[in-house]
Amino acid sequence: MRVVLLGPPGAGKGTQADLIVEKFGVPHISTGNIFREHVAAKTPLGLKVQGILDSGGLVSDEVVMELVADRIGKEDCAQGFLLDGVPRTTKQAEILRTVLSQSGRMVSHVVQIVVPEEVLLERIQGRSAQGDSSRSDDSAEVASHRYQVYLEQTAPVAKFYAAEGILSEVDGVGSIDEVFKRICEVLV
Ligand code: AMP
């Protein structure tokens, strides 16, 4: 099972990703988490991407996909993996397809968590207003920039996978358990 989880910021991707990896026993590959670890450890990569993360922009396709290619080439990904937060551009989706095809693999499922814009903005603004987020990119302005970037750069990724016939859209409004149940129904 090689799954790509798509959805706008605030859709609950991280929460659902944790549940999916627990149930299906595949590694969770979150490019956002990888970058945040580099930022926290002040590695050369972390110093390079910190400003981009803080502003809600995107790290370059080449940098992201080099990390991903390396990660999915590891032994623990032989039986599958869950990609969370990547691909975020059509170019990344193309690179992913090429990298996987080199080892005779392809993405098996793409799950798009669908949440209306008003609900997303409420969730994100609630999270930043309560100050209960450890993320430095959770302020209202940055959140709205991240959403614009999503619409412009990442929404087309769903179309890319729809054209390949492997996209499933899942209603992301409801309790965590309800949304997870819907996701499990398409991961068959
Ligand atoms: P996330 O936790 O997935 O929302 O990612 C946090 C931040 O990391 C994003 O706002 C981007 O700045 C960067 N990032 C994560 N994944 C990618 C990606 N696939 N392509 C470009 N930038 C990324």
| pLDDT tens sequence across 73-87 | 999 999 999 999 999
Label residues 125-145 b or e (16+ Cβ within 10 Å = b).
bebbeeeeeeeebbbeebbbb
Confidence of residue 143 (pLDDT cuts 50, 70, 90): confident
Phi-psi region of 42 (alpha: psi -120 to 50; beta: other; left: phi over 0): left
Residue 158 has a pLDDT of 97
Using alpha carbons only, what angle is made at residue 129 by residues 124 and 135, rounded to the nearest 5 degrees?
60
| pLDDT tens sequence across 152-185 | 999 999 999 999 999 999 999 999 999 999 999 9
Residue 45 has a pLDDT of 96
Mean per-residue pLDDT of the chain: 93
Q: Is the pLDDT of residue 132 over 60?
A: no
- Is 143 near ligand 1, meaning CB less than 6 Å away? no
Query: What separation in Å is there between the alpha carbon of 19 and the centre of ligand 1?
Result: 20
Peptide bond into 87 cis (omega under 30): yes
Confidence of residue 133 (pLDDT cuts 50, 70, 90): low
Distance from chain centroid for Cα 181? 19
Query: What separation in Å is there between the alpha carbon of 89 and the centre of ligand 1?
Result: 11
Q: Which residue has the tokens 């499990």?
A: 184
Cα–Cα distance measured from residue 184 to residue 42, given in angstroms and rounded to the nearest whole number = 37
Give me 10's structure tokens.
């605030």
Per the residue annotation, which of 71, 97, 105, 135 is the catalytic one?
135
